[in-house]
Amino acid sequence: MRKPALYSQSREVADRTVPAHDIARTGVTRPRRFSLSSPRLLWTAIGLLTVLLLFSLRLGLRPQTPPLTQKNIDAAVLKTLETTVLPSPATAAYDAISPSVVRVMAYGRSPGRKGEIERGVGSGVVIVDKGIILTSLHVVQDAAVIRVVFFDGLMSRASVISVQPENDLAVLQARTIPDDLMPATLRSTADLSPGDQVMAVGFPFGIGPSASAGVVSGLDRSFRSPEGKQEINNLIQFDAAANPGNSGGPLVTMDGAVVGIVTAILNPTPARTFIGIGFAVPIENAASAVGMSPF
């Protein structure tokens, strides 16, 4: 018997639509046709276009940042100056130097009396964070005991480690110091001129720390002690109020840097009060008393 011939199915037959009544029998489904007129496709396109339109409108309505100009900067600075109260130069100078200023107290002993007798109060300034302090020699001279009080209230005994009698200077070493002790910034007097603003900080009559502001009145001045025993040269003359107790304290510029150590006031009367002329040893001389040259 002849076997029937086997042929591959032609494309025409393969693409032929299967009748509906044969779908259940064969399990073949009719392929969906893609149509541009489909309502579902139309609504999808409308939704996408709406989203794009809203996004474009939002970008168009967003305010543009104007370019930064010098005029804008000047206006902002001017407004800040008009609405903000800035500290005075004297306030800034005091804030910078006050953590380095100390009260210096000298004590003596009297025969036949027990205990210590306070002989005088002066001022000093910390120049090295290990507790090295500059002050006036006449504040601590011949003292049996010296004590200093730091900015945080800590009291410590101190000893004299160096003196410079020709400039009325003494260098002290405190035995105990605060953990956060701040030394003062020293500034050369090379560019100091009459008229420059300065401040004297110390303990006048033991009150303080007190600040008084003025100007440099002159340079390279000389002063002779009232007893006529000593003459000091190359001094800074200033008119910031200074009184007994200010001796040994710093004379500072408006940036808080030390340019001198207050040593004397000029008053030809017995009152020993300030009449407008004070003197300070330039910091270059004071630094040399410590054996250091910071400039």
- Answer whether 219's CB lies under 8 Å from 237's CB: yes
> What gap in Å lies between CA 105 and CA 147, rounded to an integer?
5
First to last CA, the chain: 126
Backbone phi, then psi, for 273, in 5-degree steps? Answer: -115, 165
> What gap in Å lies between CA 75 and CA 81, rounded to an integer?
10
> What gap in Å lies between CA 41 and CA 261, rounded to an integer?
92
Check 168, 210, 212, 239 and give the catalytic one. 168
The answer to whether 188 is a known catalytic residue is: no
The DSSP secondary structure of 141-159, one letter per residue, reads: TT-SEEEEE-TTS-EEEEE
The answer to whether 168 is a known catalytic residue is: yes
- Answer whether 260's CB lies under 8 Å from 283's CB: yes
Count, residues in the chain: 295
Backbone phi, then psi, for 56, in 5-degree steps? Answer: -65, -40
Cβ neighbour number for residue 225 with a 10 Å cutoff: 12
Check 136, 138, 212, 239 and give the catalytic one. 138
The answer to whether 152 is a known catalytic residue is: no
Is residue 13 helix, strand or coil?
A: helix
Catalytic residues: 138, 168, 247
